[in-house]
Amino acid sequence: MSILITHGKIVTASEIFEGDVYIEGEQVVAIGKNLPYQADWVINATDKLVFPGGIDLHVHLSLPFMGTFSSDDYTTGTRAALFGGTTSVIDFIIQTQGDTLHNALKTWQEKSIGKAIGDYSYHMAVTDFNAEVAKEVVDFIEKEGITSFKTFMAYKGALMIDDGQMVQLMQVLKEHGGMITVHATNGDMIDSLIAQHRSEGKLSPLYHYLSQPEVTEAEASARFCDMLYYTGCPGYIVHMTCEGALNAVRKATQRNQKVYVETCSQYLMLDASLYEQNFEGAKWVMSPPLRQKKDQAALWAGIQQGLVHAVGTDHCPFMWEQKKMGLNDFSKIPNGHPAIEHRMEFMFSEGVLKGHISLEKYVELTSANAAKIFGMYPRKGTIAPGSDADIVIFDPHKKHTISAASHHMNVDYSAYEGWEVTGKVETVLLRGNVAIENNDCHLEAGFGKFIPRNKATMHF
Ligand SMILES: [Zn+2]
């Protein structure tokens, strides 16, 4: 099938161009003014933006966590993502401590193959590092197309590796062209604060926030940067929330390091005052927690200064019944909130329209840099001849309101109920196929493909 998109305002990370896009099969063939092609289907994009399909590089679908599972699976999660203009996601495979990476990969393949509607890839979370795992890591990079490895500096006894293992993993990745990524918070300090608050009977969601103060993230981010400096390994900090952590990265740049940084839309939009209501605050219990207004300002500045490279969601939804597991104890509330569907519209409405970022920067943050950092560029993350035709046609003027009644994520509340957004995803193409049109999803479970990734392109 061929598609011609005409008279759109085409936006990539590097330019804005008024014209047409011609697609044949799964790929973009040509971009230009008044293209001379006959297509099976013509989409008139006058007054619309045309930009690359979003890449959400931080999601958790069917994640086993705290004795339950996140409520979106690969079908509902990637479908909701498509409704919001996100055509690819990167999920996290979690190694079980004491077990192999390959067994974990098998488990995640069972969750995804034949079930995903949108495209996907995996980061591999290494929770137990030793000589055998080191060999598997090399295998993953060379044979499986999985080139990024997540580590946790928190959750001791379940997910955390110690600093010695971290440095050893970095050495292996440096040698073989992998990327290390990190959940950078000081786990020991947080565990002790949680225990202290519980023993004092301080059990409301507010104490989730107070158990993870900014310094726990700033300290771990600095320690991670120091280990990167020592090993020379390329590194990426996931879900950065605060000024202190950003300053640690800023300091690393003074000794000529480049550390990649992700934040998530919620840390740019919401703040910790939401925890001051009783159990309602559980909607936003996530780790790290929401921070202060001054941290939002720091993150927007970090984006403008090129210190923050990508915006994900850390999408990890739980039904209200699941959240209620922690009704009488904040430490039992499953961590995470639903956002996979809204990131592209939020970043446009809150970022572009409020003057924080340009349209080119918008594409950089929502797709292009994700593809570059994680080895999918230029197949994904741009509109260019030869790229996958993952394209969003976006009405920049249409206003709408976020609500659980109208979202497509499999979760019975919205963390943004009543939020007014300007700009709406209208049509979404995934590899040249119509995914979303007229508020309907046209693709079925199994359409989504695993995207094997190259080694990171470190220079951009
Ligand atoms: Zn996460």
Residue-wise pLDDT tens digits, 336-367: 999 999 999 999 999 999 999 999 999 999 99
Q: Comparing C-alpha atoms, which of 15, 9, 48 is closest to residue 358?
A: 15
Separation between Cα atoms, residue 224 and residue 289, nearest integer Å: 20
Distance from the CA of 263 to the center of ligand 1, in angstroms?
11
Distance from the CA of 58 to the center of ligand 1, in angstroms?
6
In DSSP terms, 43 is beta-bridged to 5
Distance from the CA of 10 to the center of ligand 1, in angstroms?
32
Pairing state between β 2-11 and 41-44 = parallel
Contact criterion met (CB below 8 Å) for 70 and 102: no
Element of type H or E holding 422: strand 420-430
Distance from the CA of 390 to the center of ligand 1, in angstroms?
24
Angle ∠(220,222,223) on CA atoms, nearest 5: 60
Distance from the CA of 316 to the center of ligand 1, in angstroms?
7
Distance from the CA of 92 to the center of ligand 1, in angstroms?
8
Distance from the CA of 131 to the center of ligand 1, in angstroms?
26
Contact criterion met (CB below 8 Å) for 45 and 305: no
Distance from the CA of 126 to the center of ligand 1, in angstroms?
13
Q: Any idea which residue has 């009405």 for tokens?
A: 395
Distance from the CA of 314 to the center of ligand 1, in angstroms?
5
Beta strands in 110-176 (DSSP E): 119-125, 148-152
Distance from the CA of 150 to the center of ligand 1, in angstroms?
10
Angle between helices 214-231 and 243-253 (to 10 degrees): 20
Q: Comparing C-alpha atoms, which of 444, 237, 199 is closest to residue 329?
A: 199
Distance from the CA of 6 to the center of ligand 1, in angstroms?
38
pLDDT tens digits for the chain (460 residues)?
999 999 999 999 999 999 999 999 999 999 999 999 999 999 999 999 999 999 999 999 999 988 899 999 999 999 999 999 999 999 999 999 999 999 999 999 999 999 999 999 999 999 999 999 999 999 999 999 999 999 999 999 999 999 999 999 999 999 999 999 999 999 999 999 999 999 999 999 999 999 999 999 999 999 999 999 999 999 999 999 999 999 999 999 999 999 999 999 999 999 999 999 999 999 999 999 999 999 999 999 999 999 999 999 999 999 999 999 999 999 999 999 999 999 999 999 999 999 999 999 999 999 999 999 999 999 999 999 999 999 999 999 999 999 999 999 999 999 999 999 999 999 999 999 999 999 999 999 999 999 999 987 666 5
Separation between Cα atoms, residue 67 and residue 86, nearest integer Å: 29
Q: Comparing C-alpha atoms, which of 54, 47, 15 is closest to residue 435?
A: 54
